[in-house]
Amino acid sequence: INFRKAAGLTGCTNKQALFGMLCKHLASLSEMIMTDGDYSPVCWQEKITDSINYLLILWAMVKEEQLWTE
């Protein structure tokens, strides 16, 4: 639902809205990797798990679109 709301607010597709939110997580991961900071395993797990979840939601969106077009 949040992706649909974000898409409506920004005038983009649900997938584009999801990708914008995923980019936020990837930017955080990039910062963690590039600075080689002292991040806790909990912090790593949160960022990586969130990124995986966004990709799984994207897959579900793709599959849902295929169901509606078949």
Residue 2 has pLDDT above 70, yes or no: yes
Supply the Cα-derived Rg of the chain in whole angstroms: 15
pLDDT digits (tens, 9 = 90+) for 22-68: 999 999 999 999 998 899 999 999 999 999 999 999 999 999 988 88
Question: Taking the model in full, what pTM does it have?
Answer: 0.83
CA 36 to CA 16: how far, in whole Å? 30
